[in-house]
Structure 1
Amino acid sequence: MSLSAFLQAAGWQNAHIQPMTGDASARQYARLHSKGRSAILMQAPNDGSTHAFVAVDHYLRAQSLAAPTIYAAQPDQGLLITEDFGDTRFADVTDKDAANASNLYELATDVLIHLSRVPAMADRSIYDGKTMATQAALIFEWALPGKPLPDQTMAAPLKDALIRAALPFDRGRRVTMLRDYHAENLMLREASGLGAAGLLDFQDAMLAHPAYDLVSLLQDARRDVDPAIEEEMTFRYMACADHDSTDFYAAYALYGVGRALRILGIFARLASRDGKTRYLDFVPRVRANLIRNLAHPHLSDVAGILDPWLESTT
C-alpha cells in the first residue's frame, strides 16, 4: 500500500503533513493536521519493528500506561498513524525548569515501579548476559573519531567477564524493559497519575532485569541528571519494588556498563557510517558513566579488561 493510499484509507488524505525531527534510527515521523485534529505518522523500514511497536503498545495500554492510541496501521509496510502527545517532552521541561526535574523523574520512576508489579510480556526476547555482551561488542567494530578501537584481543575476555557478572541476575525475575527509556522519549500529558507520562519509542522492548530501564532513565546519555535525583529515584525504586540494595546496586552498575558500551558503539557507527556527528557531543558523559559504573566491586574483572582502552582514549 502506498502512503497516499494508506492516508486515504485512514481518513487523513487531505491532511497537511508537517515533517518532524528524526532520531538515531531509520524511522521517519510527521505530524498530520486535518480539520482541527492532529496525529503522528510514522514510517519505518519493513524490518518487523512496526509489528513490535503495535504489540508493545497494546501491552502497555492494557497495563493502564499511556502509550499512544493507534488510529491506523499497516505494519507490513511500516506505516502507523498514532495519537499525538504534543511537543512537551520531559527533557524540555527539566532543561527549562530544574525545579520540576524531581517531580518528573519521580513520575518516570513510578512508571517503572508499575511495570515491575504487572505481568511481563510473554513473547519478548530476553536481555541476558550473552545479549549484553553481544551488544557491547559494537565497540570493537566502530572507532570514535580520533580514538583507537579497543584491542581485538580484549573481545573474548570482555564478553566472558560480562556474562559471568550477569549470571546472578540472569536467574532472577525479569520485567518488560522498554530499552530507550529516557527524558526525550517521555511526553508530559495533561492527565493524572501515571497517565501524565506519555511513552514513546518502545518497539525494541525485551525482558530484562528491573535495573536496566532505571539506568537508562537516570544515566541519560543526552543530559546530566542531578546525582541527588539519581540517588533518590534509585532508593524509591528499591523501596517500592522491594529489591535488596546490595544486589540491586551491583545490577545497576552492570547494566550501566553494558548500556554505556552499546551506546558508545552506536555513536561511533552513527558518526563514521552515517555522518551523524551530533551524537559525539554525548560521548564524554557516556564515558564518565561507564567509568563510574566500573568502580563497583562486582565489576572488577570487567574494569581490569577495559581500563587500558579507557586510558588510551582520554
Structure 2
Amino acid sequence: MNLPSTRDNQRRVFLSETDFADSRLSPLQQDASFRRYFCIDDGEHGCLLMDAPPETENLTAWLEIGNHLNQLGLRAPAVLRSDTDTGFALIEDFGSRTFTRLLDAGESHEVLYTQAIDLLIHLHQHPNALLEGLKPYDFQALMDEALLLPDWFLPLLSGQPTASQQRESYQQIWGAVFDSLPTPAISLVLRDFHVDNLMQLPANEPLRQIGLLDFQDALIGPMAYDLMSLLEDARRDLPSPLVNAMRERYLQAMPLLDLENFQLWYRILAVQRHCKVAGIFSRLAIRDDKAQYLKHIPRVLGLLQSHLEDPLLRPLGDWLRACGVTSNRLTIPSDYRSVRTTLGLIDRSSD
C-alpha cells in the first residue's frame, strides 16, 4: 500500500482551508524547475495549485513580481490564496494556449512574435518598470551562470570534471569581456522571456491578451536580455527575416537607446546565455535525469557560434574550439548517467 507523502499531506492541509478541500488534483507536466502544478478538477473553477518547495523555489519572489507586473498593466496569474512558509499558492489557470503550442499548430509567427515584442516595448518604456528591492543582474550573476558550461556541459562531453586551470582560464576570459563593456540601458529583466512562457488569453486590451509565466527570477539588468532571449530561443528555430524584423520593430520603438551600446550588449548576453543554457540542459540530464533537454544543445551551440566573431569574444571562441565545443563533428553523448559518478553525484537511475 502506498502511503501519502509528507508533501501530499501538506498540499491537502493547504487546500482544506479553501473551497477546494475535496477536489481532485491532476498533476500537470513538470518543467525544468522543482515547481509542480496541479489542475483542480471541480467542474466549475479555473484554478491551479502551485507547489513550490521552499528549499528550492522562491514563492515570495513569484508573488511580489507577479503583483508588480499586474500593476504595470501586464498579466500574471491572479492569486487566490498563498502560503509562503509551506510553498503553496492557489492561482488563476491560464489554460493551455502557450505561444509554443499555437506556433506548432500553424498560427502566424509574425502575429505572435509581434505581440511579444510589443509587450517588451511596453515594459521597457514604463517609468515604473524597476521593482524596488530586486537584485541587479550584475557581472557576478552573469559569471556564475556562464560557469555552468565548464561545470556541467564539458563534463558531459568529456566524461570527466573540468580541470581547475581550464575553468580558471574560461573565467578570466569572461572577466575581461565584462570589464570591457560599457554601462547598459537597464530595466526589469524577466530572464526567461520566450514562447514557452507566454500564454494567449481572452481580453480586450492587447497587452492583457498575453499571460506571463516563470518570472520569479527577474532582476534589474540590461534591457537587451529579454529581447535576445525571445529571438534566440534555445528550443525553437526562427527564420532570420523574422528575427531581423522583430528586432527592428523593437529598436524603432526605442529611439533613445544608444544603438551601438545595445547591440554590443545583445551579442555578449546572447553568448553568455547560450553558455549558461548548454550547462543547464546538461545539468538537467546528469543531475535530474531529464534527458529531453539534450536534444536542444546543438541549436544552442549554433546560436552561440554565430556571435563569436565579435572582437571581444574571439578569446572565448579560441577557448571553446580548444575544448571541442564548437567542432562541426561534435555529438552530444547519450550515456550521461556515467558522468554522475565522475562528478560525485548519486546515481538516480538506480533509485
Displacement of 1:29 after TM fit?
0.7
Displacement of 1:236 after TM fit?
1.4
User: Structure 1: any 5+ residue segments left out of the alignment?
Assistant: none
Percent identity reads 31
Show the 5 A alignment for 1:231-250.
231-242=244-255, 243-250=257-264
User: SS at 2:47's partner residue?
Assistant: strand
Residue 143 and residue 167 in structure 1: after superposition, are their counterparts in 2 closer, same or farther (change >3 A)? closer
Question: 1:156 aligns to what?
Answer: 168
Question: 1:5 aligns to what?
Answer: 13
Kept in 1, the 8 Å contact 2:189–2:223? The answer is yes
Larger radius of gyration: 2
Within the alignment, does 1:271 sit opposite 2:281 as a pair?
A: no
Distance (whole Å) between structure 2 residues aligned to residue 156 and residue 93 of structure 1: 43
* TM-score normalised by length of structure 1: 0.93
Aligned AA for 1:305? Answer: W
2:115 pairs, out of 100, 107, 117, with: 107
User: SS at 2:46's partner residue?
Assistant: strand
Displacement of 1:146 after TM fit?
5.9
Within the alignment, does 1:133 sit opposite 2:143 as a pair?
A: yes
Within the alignment, does 1:217 sit opposite 2:226 as a pair?
A: no
Q: Which moved more, 1:183-192 or 1:154-163?
A: 154-163
Kept in 1, the 8 Å contact 2:143–2:171? The answer is yes
User: SS at 2:65's partner residue?
Assistant: helix
Figure out how many residues of one structure are paired with residues of the other and give that number.
Answer: 313
Within the alignment, does 1:201 sit opposite 2:214 as a pair?
A: yes
- Runs of 4+ with deviation above 6 angstroms: none
Kept in 1, the 8 Å contact 2:305–2:326? The answer is no
Displacement of 1:10 after TM fit?
2.2
Distance (whole Å) between structure 2 residues aligned to residue 115 and residue 13 of structure 1: 38
User: Structure 2: any 5+ residue segments left out of the alignment?
Assistant: 1-8, 331-351
Q: Which moved more, 1:283-292 or 1:295-304?
A: 295-304
Displacement of 1:15 after TM fit?
1.9
Show the 5 A alignment for 1:185-196.
185-191=197-203, 192-196=205-209
Displacement of 1:311 after TM fit?
4.1
Kept in 1, the 8 Å contact 2:50–2:88? The answer is yes
Displacement of 1:223 after TM fit?
1.1
Question: 2:40 aligns to what?
Answer: 32
Cα RMSD over matched residues?
Answer: 2.0
Distance (whole Å) between structure 2 residues aligned to residue 150 and residue 290 of structure 1: 20
Question: 1:181 aligns to what?
Answer: 193
Residue 274 and residue 43 in structure 1: after superposition, are their counterparts in 2 closer, same or farther (change >3 A)? same
Distance (whole Å) between structure 1 residues aligned to residue 16 and residue 132 of structure 2: 35
Kept in 2, the 8 Å contact 1:128–1:166? The answer is no
Residue 150 and residue 36 in structure 1: after superposition, are their counterparts in 2 closer, same or farther (change >3 A)? same
User: SS at 2:176's partner residue?
Assistant: helix
User: SS at 1:198's partner residue?
Assistant: strand
Displacement of 1:57 after TM fit?
0.5
Distance (whole Å) between structure 1 residues aligned to residue 135 and residue 182 of structure 2: 13
